Chain A
């Protein structure tokens, strides 16, 4: 069986479900969204990721119809949404606070949107039951929202927003109120439900792990702008800027100046008297240009002797060790005071650990382990 990769954004014939066209949103003098253009395709699980105040929630609220753009156009399925009120959009939203109606039972909460559609009674009963089954809530149908747990409430909110079979489902920090274990379980449930229903999901989150886990594409936002949009692996492995590299996961950023050595090879001079780092990139940099190398801690090897044939090797001293159980993070000081984090999987028991504080060690990584960034 051949599995086709889901990547409508790479197909030029595909028409996007959602189009932001030069959208700007200002609140008074504050610019929440700054001239933003972005396409989102049908069946995508699209994550808007960024720190609070970056405009991700504003983007979502504009899709739901609670905010109108100051400038620009938002199209859903080719239709301009400018004068379409929230209740007439084929869009539903799952609120951060869940916003379950406290005076209605779980069943009535889920049926609420269907009643507004004037759906026939039999059909509505069937639909609500289907939603209850999908979210494993059948047992709780008669209870009120305050009589169920937080995780169950989260599922009611999801069932309620999915009941009307929207073209687009918006999820505003849907898992923020759940504890870590439940959150991880729910992430997979969400993906499962998204796949089953074939609905387009747009999720807002500040939790990068969550975005990476669930999304088909992640948009990293800052200051009302989208910094990078890509698949989770590309965002992680090939960030386009120091901001993105730093926002997603743990990273070492080393500043230096670039020197071209071959078609796609560069030397990064990072400290006088030290051998420059070697790296490969498709980016074109001019000699002497300021450049950054971003390397993930887990991509850095750590050894007592200089490894044979390593492209990049540098000696340093262990300052600190962070023990996390499955992995350990070593904080290593390089000449000139640069601190580097290197991670190692703890395949052996802690008592047999090779390195300890104040040890002199060699850090090494390959040509392609680090990304060369201009900004």
Chain B
């Protein structure tokens, strides 16, 4: 079969252009010397320099990173626990319902998630802050972690855990010493996924934020309403870079683990 046809090539080009052209333009214009976003006036990195002097932006970036680190860690712990119970817990009343409920937020519109969290937090917290964003982000990214980790756990040989129990581990030790090291690559990818989700969330953060807790996406959004500045382009480029690195690291670590596991299985079969 001929793999290269004009149809295939066109479809590929259009598809990738559709996905990445906007971002490429953004990256290019972040190096624009002109103050006008739409007019090219030569290469410059001055907007990156300006960005470093913009304390408001830097504060927002700091809040975003803090929120992303803490919420993704929280989400990873909760998501891993949920995945473990779903895969290992055996059959219990309402298991299907529970697993459905864990995965439902994946398809839930963000506005609804945001609004419902807002309604929940309103009577509980006197004032919204970075903490409320952390809780909100942990809640919605937990299901992503749980999906990644449970797909690894399904392929996990249960007799390894039994062997650990048999050799004197308590159930918790068996999880810590055997299960966790083996599923670690999936847990790490889950964390990175949660981290990037938190990093670029606007909707849910807007619902659950309070005074002094402005995240970068929120800052960008409000700045853009007053007109796009090349500074925003520079900032967005940095964010794209961070997210790209995160996603690539996650996929490489998953792929490596899968390759190693396959090598081990091949060795076991031979």
Write the residues of chain A forming the contact surface with B, with a CB cutoff of 8 angstroms. 64-66, 85-87, 91-93, 95-97, 99-103, 112-113, 116-117, 145-147, 150, 153, 160-161, 164
Most buried by B among A87, A112, A164: A87
User: When the two chains form their complex, are residues A97 and B159 in contact, meaning their CB atoms are under 8 A apart?
Assistant: yes
Instruction: Judge if B167 is at the interface, Cβ distance under 8 Å.
Output: yes
> For B159, what are the chain A residues with a Cβ–Cβ distance below 8 Å?
95-97, 99
Residue of A nearest to B269 (CB): A150
Residue of B nearest to A96 (CB): B159
Q: CB within 8 Å of A: which of B170-217?
A: 170, 173, 177-178, 181-182
> For A93, what are the chain B residues with a Cβ–Cβ distance below 8 Å?
162-163, 166
| The one of B166, B177, B268, B270 that contacts A87, using a Cβ cutoff of 8 Å | B166
User: When the two chains form their complex, are residues A87 and B169 in contact, meaning their CB atoms are under 8 A apart?
Assistant: yes
User: When the two chains form their complex, are residues B160 and A145 in contact, meaning their CB atoms are under 8 A apart?
Assistant: no
| The one of A99, A102, A113, A150 that contacts B168, using a Cβ cutoff of 8 Å | A113
| The one of A96, A99, A116 that contacts B160, using a Cβ cutoff of 8 Å | A99
User: When the two chains form their complex, are residues B182 and A86 in contact, meaning their CB atoms are under 8 A apart?
Assistant: no
Taking A99-B163, A113-B167, A160-B167 as given, write out 8 further A-B residue pairs in contact, using a Cβ cutoff of 8 Å, ordered by the A residue number: A66-B162, A87-B170, A92-B166, A93-B166, A99-B159, A101-B182, A102-B182, A113-B168
| The one of A92, A99, A101, A146 that contacts B267, using a Cβ cutoff of 8 Å | A146
> For A96, what are the chain B residues with a Cβ–Cβ distance below 8 Å?
159
> For A92, what are the chain B residues with a Cβ–Cβ distance below 8 Å?
166-167
**Nearest Cβ in chain B — how far from A18, in angstroms?**
16
A/B interface sample: 25 pairs, CB < 8 A: A64-B162, A64-B166, A65-B165, A66-B162, A86-B166, A87-B166, A87-B167, A87-B168, A87-B169, A92-B167, A96-B159, A97-B157, A97-B159, A99-B159, A100-B163, A101-B163, A103-B182, A112-B164, A113-B167, A117-B168, A145-B268, A150-B270, A160-B167, A161-B166, A161-B167
Q: Are A164 and B157 also in contact (CB < 8 A) when A103-B181, A116-B173, A153-B268 are?
A: no
| The one of A85, A87, A97, A146 that contacts B263, using a Cβ cutoff of 8 Å | A146
Q: Are A99 and B162 also in contact (CB < 8 A) when A113-B168, A116-B167, A160-B167 are?
A: yes
Chain A-chain B contacts (Cβ-Cβ < 8 Å), number: 69
> For B177, what are the chain A residues with a Cβ–Cβ distance below 8 Å?
112
> For B164, what are the chain A residues with a Cβ–Cβ distance below 8 Å?
101, 112
How far, in angstroms, from A48 to B128 measured CA to CA in the complex? 65
> For B267, what are the chain A residues with a Cβ–Cβ distance below 8 Å?
146-147
> For A160, what are the chain B residues with a Cβ–Cβ distance below 8 Å?
163, 167
Residue of B nearest to A144 (CB): B264
User: When the two chains form their complex, are residues B182 and A164 in contact, meaning their CB atoms are under 8 A apart?
Assistant: no
Residue of A nearest to B168 (CB): A116
| The one of A102, A145, A164 that contacts B167, using a Cβ cutoff of 8 Å | A164
| The one of A65, A85, A101, A161 that contacts B178, using a Cβ cutoff of 8 Å | A101
How far, in angstroms, from A150 to B261 measured CA to CA in the complex? 16
Residue of A nearest to B165 (CB): A86
Residue of B nearest to A113 (CB): B167
How far, in angstroms, from A116 to B264 measured CA to CA in the complex? 26
> For B264, what are the chain A residues with a Cβ–Cβ distance below 8 Å?
102, 145-146
User: When the two chains form their complex, are residues A99 and B169 in contact, meaning their CB atoms are under 8 A apart?
Assistant: no
How far, in angstroms, from A124 to B116 measured CA to CA in the complex? 56
> For A146, what are the chain B residues with a Cβ–Cβ distance below 8 Å?
263-264, 267-268
**Nearest Cβ in chain B — how far from A279, in angstroms?**
47
> For B270, what are the chain A residues with a Cβ–Cβ distance below 8 Å?
150
> For A102, what are the chain B residues with a Cβ–Cβ distance below 8 Å?
182, 261, 264
User: When the two chains form their complex, are residues B169 and A116 in contact, meaning their CB atoms are under 8 A apart?
Assistant: yes
Q: CB-defined interface of B232-270 with A at 8 Å, one 1/0 digit per residue?
A: 000000000000000000000000000001011001101
**Nearest Cβ in chain B — how far from A163, in angstroms?**
8
Residue of B nearest to A148 (CB): B267
How far, in angstroms, from A66 to B270 measured CA to CA in the complex? 30
How far, in angstroms, from A116 to B268 measured CA to CA in the complex? 27
Most buried by B among A85, A93, A102, A153: A102
How far, in angstroms, from A146 to B168 measured CA to CA in the complex? 24
How far, in angstroms, from A103 to B270 measured CA to CA in the complex? 19
How far, in angstroms, from A164 to B168 measured CA to CA in the complex? 9
**Nearest Cβ in chain A — how far from B171, in angstroms?**
8
How far, in angstroms, from A65 to B177 measured CA to CA in the complex? 20
Please provide the 10 A-B residue pairs with the shortest distance between their CB atoms, ordered closest to farther.
A116-B168, A113-B167, A146-B264, A99-B163, A99-B159, A146-B267, A86-B165, A103-B181, A95-B159, A87-B168
How far, in angstroms, from A103 to B257 measured CA to CA in the complex? 11
**Nearest Cβ in chain A — how far from B261, in angstroms?**
8
Most buried by A among B165, B166, B169: B166
User: When the two chains form their complex, are residues B182 and A95 in contact, meaning their CB atoms are under 8 A apart?
Assistant: no
> For A85, what are the chain B residues with a Cβ–Cβ distance below 8 Å?
165
How far, in angstroms, from A160 to B168 measured CA to CA in the complex? 12
How far, in angstroms, from A113 to B166 measured CA to CA in the complex? 8
How far, in angstroms, from A308 to B79 measured CA to CA in the complex? 83
> For A103, what are the chain B residues with a Cβ–Cβ distance below 8 Å?
181-182
Residue of A nearest to B266 (CB): A146
**Nearest Cβ in chain A — how far from B228, in angstroms?**
50
**Nearest Cβ in chain B — how far from A149, in angstroms?**
8
| The one of A91, A113, A150, A161 that contacts B268, using a Cβ cutoff of 8 Å | A150
Q: Are A95 and B162 also in contact (CB < 8 A) when A146-B264, A146-B268 are?
A: yes
Q: CB-defined interface of B32-61 with A at 8 Å, one 1/0 digit per residue?
A: 000000000000000000000000000000
> For B263, what are the chain A residues with a Cβ–Cβ distance below 8 Å?
146
